[in-house]
Amino acid sequence: MKKGTLKKVLKYAGKYRFLIFVSLTLAVVTALLSLYVPILAGDAIDCIVGPGAVDFGRIAAIIIRMVIAIAIISICQWIMNQSNNKITFQVVRDVRKEAFDKLQILPFEYLDSKQTGDIVSRIISDVDLFADGLLMGFSQLFTGIVTIVGTLVFMFYLNFKIAIVVVVLTPLSLFIAKFIADRSFKLFKEQSQSRADQTAFVDEMVGNLSIVKAFAHEDENLETFGEINERLRKTSIKATFISSLTNPSTRCVNNLVYAAVALFGAFVCIAGGMTVGGLTIFLSYANQYTKPFNEISGVVTELQNALACAERVFAIIEEKPETADKESAPENFTPEGEVSFDNVEFSYDKTKELIKELNLKVKKGQRVAIVGPTGSGKTTLINLLMRFYDVDKGAISVDGRDIRDIKRRDIRDCYGMVLQETWLRNGTVRDNITLGREGYTDEQIIEAAKASHAHSFIKRLPDGYDTVITENGGNLSQGQKQLLCITRVMLDIPPMLILDEATSSIDTSTEIRIQKAFNRMMKGRTSFIVAHRLSTIREADVILVMKDGHILEQGNHGELLEKKGFYYELYNSQFA
């Protein structure tokens, strides 16, 4: 899994080949000059032969060359860091954009099955941690690899016997680093999941704080949060502890390498096979050779965390998108309003039946009320009509055309929806009524607000229709929010309507007036009305009584009461 994730990261980085080329070139220049400086230092030491026998002129020239080399190294490192920053943050930008773009085309099934906080955590927190690991990788990996290769070449050139000692002992350091990295990856993945669970829980609790307080659920929430927090603490400590063993372990091996080089080199010097300056160069190279292993071991730790986070982000990017609209779908489909369900079967969980062999014919202009106990499939029917989900078997047709042969946008434009759940965003009242649609005059907006009986409360707001309301209308009452959603439909009434408990949060007197407005609005339009309060659907042309995904009874209010079946029991349970 790690190799696959790393390949995907490199694929994104491959778009910025020029910056990678610049970074690699500068890494080579930096490494070579870093290897050249010890040679100058060894030459300077060899200029000190003994007391009174110091070649100060040559030492001064060597020092000037060292200063120039160090200055070039500093400039190269600065440019290289700038390049690495650009590579990292452009890759991160691309990954985050692709993940967010993918969210726009994912099916509702995916969004319904995931917690909002988990998705937010993947796109925000996980991508940030991925960026930190990637930046460290680009910054230290290039230079480290070039330094290792360069020092090996120079050491073999100076003394191949001592170089062999270094090469033989070094793989032990790599083995330790890999052993620890394999175990830390799994722990970092668990850490990311625990962090996502925490984000999801906090997001849910903060968004529903009024409900939490209303049910006095604070203590239970604190207990749940404490459990998640403790799980995150344990996984974080384990991941950090295991990964932190890499650096000291490799350092221990590298110090052994340095000591072996010093000891072996000293015997070579005594035997006359190398000057003191040459030994100094070799010791410096041995140190430079082992140093990247220490740095790379630290990078590996960060990369484990980065790859674990990247894997979660790529999981979103690689999800199957919503099935595309058919190319043969008509343009700007406008229905008359005839709807039919033909042997429809559907379930969210494919192991559990919900709707089975549902058949229904709705004529143009009919008002169809859907009633039944919770979980009977009323809202599912609406989801299928809007094509938020596609049926498992059978077909839903509009004007004789299967809705799967119609563009989703056109299907959804055919319906005006007022739901129990309100959809409001941060902006003015006017913006929330038009919802981004252009071409409406103030007179049309006010007319719609009067029809929905929202005009009176809007006038009382500080700036009227220009009053800014917070996210989800937090500074309005539930009833006022619902009136704005009704106004939105009144502004431009489409051919078909869906009213799902549309007046559930409105006082009785306002509800009576709005019902009259709805009756005018529904005249000549095919309408689907989901209701728990059966008093609101007496005038419906057809009432569908649903239970366990099936239509038990069908007829108007009077006919169903005469049958004295399930509808009769439901009605009497409310008005007994």
The whole-number mean pLDDT for each consecutive block of 10 residues of the chain, a chain of 576 residues, reads 71 84 85 82 73 75 89 90 85 87 84 79 81 70 76 77 74 71 75 82 78 81 88 85 75 75 76 72 74 67 75 86 81 82 86 82 87 80 87 89 88 82 83 83 89 87 87 74 84 84 69 73 83 72 82 84 83 69
- pLDDT at position 1 is 46
Partners of residue 526 on adjacent β-strands: 496
3-state secondary structure of 69: helix
- Is 37 inside a domain boundary? no
39 domain-assigned: no
Categorise residue 331: left if φ over 0, alpha if ψ from -120 to 50, beta otherwise. Answer: beta
Let me know whether 234 and 356 are in one domain.
Answer: no
Sheet containing strand 550-555, edge to edge, reads: 415-418, 496-500, 526-530, 367-371, 542-547, 550-555
382 and 292 within one domain: no
CA distance 172 to 311: 29
Q: What is the CATH number of the domain that holds 180?
A: 1.20.1560.10
**In-domain check, residue 171:** yes
| 298 in the same domain as 361 | no
Helices and strands per DSSP (H, E), number in the chain: 20, 14
**CATH value at residue 421:** 3.40.50.300
Last residue of a domain, one of 253, 283, 317: 317
70 inside domain: no
- Are residue 179 and residue 267 in the same domain, yes or no? yes
Q: Please name the residue ranges forming H helices in 452-502.
A: 455-459, 478-491
Q: Identity (one letter) of the amino acid at 259?
A: A
Helix (H, G, I), strand (E, B) or coil at 544: strand
Residues 132 and 221 in one domain: yes
Which value, in Å, is the radius of gyration of the alpha carbons in the chain? Answer: 36
| pLDDT given for residue 519 in this prediction | 76
d(CA 177, CA 113): 38
End position of a domain, from candidates 282, 317, 352: 317
Is the same domain home to 312 and 346? no
Query: What residue numbers bound the domain in which 153 lies?
Result: 2-15+83-317
**How far is it, in rounded angstroms, from Cα 540 to Cα 555?**
9
Residues 244 and 371 in one domain: no
| Tally of structural domains, the chain | 2
Nearest alpha-carbon partner for 535 in 555, 557, 566: 557
Residue 326 lies in a domain: no
| The token pair that represents 125 in the structure block | 């927190």
Q: Are residues 286 and 386 in the same domain?
A: no
| Tokens 């029917």 belong to residue | 381
Extract the tokens encoding 266: 């000293």
- Token code pair at residue 489: 């439909």
Token pair recorded at residue 486: 């009704």
Q: Would residue 90 count as lying in a domain?
A: yes
Q: Identify which of 387, 392, 341, 402 has the alpha carbon closest to the alpha carbon of residue 368.
A: 341
* Cα 84 to Cα 89: distance, rounded to the nearest angstrom: 9
Integer Cα distance of 139 and 574 in angstroms: 70
Instruction: Tell whether 272 and 148 lie within a shared domain.
Output: yes
Task: Check whether residue 569 and residue 428 sit in a common domain.
Answer: yes
Residue 421 is assigned to a structural domain of this protein: yes
- 285 and 413 fall within a common domain: no
- Rounded distance, CA 178 to CA 181, Å? 5
The reply to whether 29 falls in a domain is no
- Geometric angle at alpha carbon 339, from 333 and 345, rounded to 5°: 110
The predicted pLDDT at position 489 comes to 84
* CA 219 from centroid of its chain's CA atoms: 30
* Separation of alpha carbons 45 and 211, rounded Å: 78
Within this chain, do residues 307 and 361 fall inside the same structural domain, yes or no?
Answer: no
